[in-house]
Amino acid sequence: MKAFDAIQLQLVWDRLLAIVEEQAQTLMRTAFSTVVREAGDLSAGVFDTEGSMLAQAITGTPGHVNAMARSVSHFLTRYPLPSMNDGDVFLTNDPWLATGHLNDFTVVTPIYYRERPVALFASTSHIADVGGRGFGPDANEVFEEGINIPIMALFNAGVRNETLMEIIAANVRDPVVAEGDLYSLTACNEAGGRDLQSMMTAHELESLDEIASHVLSTSRAAMEREISALPAGIYENSMDVDGYDVPVHIECAMHVHRDRILIDFSGSSPTSRYGINVPANYTEAYASFGVRCLVGNSIPNNAGSLGTIRVTAPEGSILNAMPPCAVSARHALGQMLPDVIMGCLEQIMPESVAAEGASCIWNPVLMNAPQTGGDVADTPFVINPIYNGGTGARFMKDGLSTTAFPSGVRTTPTEINEVTSPLIFERREFCQDSGGRGRHRGGLGQIVEIRHGRDNAFFVSKMFDRIEHPARGRAGGGNGRPGKVYIKGGSPLRGKGKDLVPAGATLVLETPGGGGFGNPSERNENDIRGDVEKGFVSGTS
């Protein structure tokens, strides 16, 4: 290959990365759902005509991105590329074909250049309500969790599927938001497609075949070199988490081979009768992300680099739940998997692995409750704010407070939550003493107090973890403080499930802290003094 050719390939690759980031930003700017627009609960990417992901946007979540990486092949199985037309747009929210639960819609758009299909753009976003019981862990089957749309056309050659839109509108609580979000997904793919066509003209490309082959082979080879530098062997780790009604056990064996990593979750708990089960695509997404955080983390994330990691779990286990298992709150367990994977990798790269963190986002669904008595009817509302706990401490640094890892989903601004609901968020501050003690301290959680502006009752649907099983420290570090959820001045609430917050009451969330790293007696005195002065620790802990 000529030097100029290599330079041009790199320029095109870099341009692809810029295109998919602009795709994601378009999605954020146009989304109707607050969790997408404000918190970035989305993914965006470009795929070759075989359905292999070439590039992903930086903006987004690993669960969406890595599950979406597998989903486009399902679209091509249902609608082979020769059957598609310019202007077609396809969608699904099938948990086993998309990203693990019904609230996530994946939209795929074929892109044509000079009347030939050259690529596919895909995007995913979380739609606040898809009908059924609403977003939460209480269902016993997926049929209760909302409307399930098989892979089908949203637009046929630019013409909207009116029947589909009518069915969706008739089954969700806020059809305007659902329709707007589907337009947003369509628009971001279209924006990516326009930029791609412009890039192909600028670089005088007739197809992406050569760049696709270069991207995938280069990424895979780089990842294989990183894996080959690791000591071969089998590394095991396990974790117990809260579950819904009984604790859930996660068992992991990581097999490091010459040029690949195999992850096996045999021995994990069986499926639950509640909606905390995880489809295999979401398990694979977060388990592979846990590897990519430490192995080849500078290598672009695409089908080539991901192809070196294989994830399995027995059918019928909670990490390979089969239809019709309820899966709405699959993130509560799935987001724990990077910590499990890092516990395996700690055995071969101990100075690179952080202590366990809060991991699971705390994303309560808050909604109006039927009011009795009086003459003022409550305003219907449903909001899904995001709160985060602390990350685990690192070998050389403290953990990060109230930080979204591994999800990357940011906290929703209080101003937005109050504008879109009648709720008042009276308090948000660091949770003192919540980070695990150690040579380096775990990141802090936060305290949030919420009440109804008219002192009405309201519902909270909870998908919280790390209440019974806190984040564990490493290398002698202490555990993070477990989370709490309760009515102020009243009794604690369970971590998962739907509860009524009584009229006039205040709901309190205390998100978990991250684990500490190293012997607490080795902590620097200046760091101890600084923690006390800033109020991070009480001085008696």
Q: Which of 186, 204, 175, 139 is nearest to 26 (CA)?
A: 186
Q: Is 425 helix (H, G, I), strand (E, B) or coil?
A: strand
Q: Would you state the pLDDT for residue 2?
A: 41
Query: Crossing angle of helices 3-30/209-228, nearest 10°?
Result: 90
Q: Which of 234, 232, 233, 263 is nearest to 250 (CA)?
A: 263
Domains and CATH numbers, the chain: 3-219 (3.30.450), 354-541 (no CATH)
Q: Is the pLDDT of residue 529 over 90?
A: yes
How far is 487 from 466, CA to CA, in rounded Å? 18
Average pLDDT for residues 474-488, to the nearest whole number? 98
Q: Would you state the pLDDT for residue 434?
A: 98
How far is 8 from 203, CA to CA, in rounded Å? 8
445-480 pLDDT, tens digit per residue, is 999 999 999 999 999 999 999 999 999 999 999 999
How far is 276 from 374, CA to CA, in rounded Å? 38
181-192 pLDDT, tens digit per residue, is 999 999 999 999
In Å, how far from its chain's centre is CA 421?
24
Q: Are 536 and 435 in contact (CB under 8 A)?
A: yes
Q: Are 318 and 477 in contact (CB under 8 A)?
A: no
Q: Would you state the pLDDT for residue 88?
A: 98
Taking only Cα atoms into account, the Rg of the chain, rounded to an integer number of angstroms, comes to 23
Q: Is the pLDDT of residue 376 over 80?
A: no
Q: Are 35 and 126 in contact (CB under 8 A)?
A: yes
How far is 418 from 450, CA to CA, in rounded Å? 10
Q: Are 44 and 60 in contact (CB under 8 A)?
A: yes
**Which 8-state DSSP code applies to residue 344?**
H
Contacts of 406 (CB under 8 A, 6+ apart): 62, 286, 289, 290, 293, 335, 338, 359
Q: Are 496 and 244 in contact (CB under 8 A)?
A: yes
417-447 pLDDT, tens digit per residue, is 999 999 999 999 999 999 999 999 999 999 9
Q: Are 56 and 42 in contact (CB under 8 A)?
A: no
Percent of the chain with pLDDT over 70: 97
Q: Which of 427, 368, 360 is nearest to 388 (CA)?
A: 360
Neighbour count for residue 349 (Cβ, 10 Å): 13
396-405 pLDDT, tens digit per residue, is 999 999 999 9
154-174 pLDDT, tens digit per residue, is 999 999 999 999 999 999 988
Percent of the chain with pLDDT over 90: 93
**CA distances for 8 relative to 2, 12, 204, 210, angstroms:** 10, 6, 11, 11
Neighbour count for residue 312 (Cβ, 10 Å): 17
173-218 pLDDT, tens digit per residue, is 889 999 999 999 999 999 999 999 999 999 999 999 999 999 999 9
Q: Would you state the pLDDT for residue 216?
A: 97
Q: Write down the mean pLDDT value for the chain.
A: 95
Task: Describe the chain by its helix, strand, coil percentages, rounded to 5.
Answer: 30, 20, 50
Q: Is the pLDDT of residue 374 over 60?
A: no
Q: Is the pLDDT of residue 3 over 60?
A: no
Surface-to-core class of residue 161, CB atoms within 10 Å of its CB (0-12 exposed, 13-18 middle, 19+ buried): middle
Average pLDDT for residues 117-140, to the nearest whole number? 95
Q: Is the pLDDT of residue 377 over 70?
A: no
**CA distances for 182 relative to 31, 94, 174, 187, angstroms:** 9, 15, 13, 9
Query: Crossing angle of helices 337-345/280-292, nearest 10°?
Result: 40
List the strands of the sheet with 104-113, edge to edge: 53-56, 42-47, 116-126, 104-113, 89-92, 152-156, 159-160
12-40 pLDDT, tens digit per residue, is 999 999 999 999 999 999 999 999 999 99
- H or E segment and range at residue 383: strand 382-383
How far is 316 from 339, CA to CA, in rounded Å? 22
Answering whether pTM is above 0.85, one says yes
Neighbour count for residue 22 (Cβ, 10 Å): 18
